[in-house]
Amino acid sequence: MRQLKNATIYKVYEYHLQMEERPLFKEELNAEEMIQHLCNIFQKNLSIEEFNLMEYQNLKKRCSGILSVEMLSGLLDDLTPEQIAIFDEAVKRK
């Protein structure tokens, strides 16, 4: 498990350095917390072999998706009950 954690931290940190291409992530998310969160998710869901075989583009895509969800969930925390109702209604229509 320690091998996976070390490999995960390295690869995720490498990805984080690329977040320059997504400045909103950098603005809205705490880098250290997100790196730890990503590491935890990968450790829970992948074996060491699966993680080590994952291509960089696949890792980047997964990280981007997870970070997007985290960012959106933070935005929802700031909404009023009325705004949440409007958001829920809009999501139902899709």
pLDDT tens track for 23-72: 777 777 777 888 888 888 988 999 888 988 888 888 888 988 888 888 88
Q: Which long-range contacts (CB under 8 A, 24 or more apart) does 59-68 make?
A: 59/11, 59/12, 59/15, 60/15, 60/18, 63/12, 63/15, 63/38, 64/22, 66/37, 66/38, 66/41, 67/22, 67/25, 67/29, 67/34, 67/38
Q: What is the pLDDT of residue 90?
A: 85
pLDDT of residue 18: 63
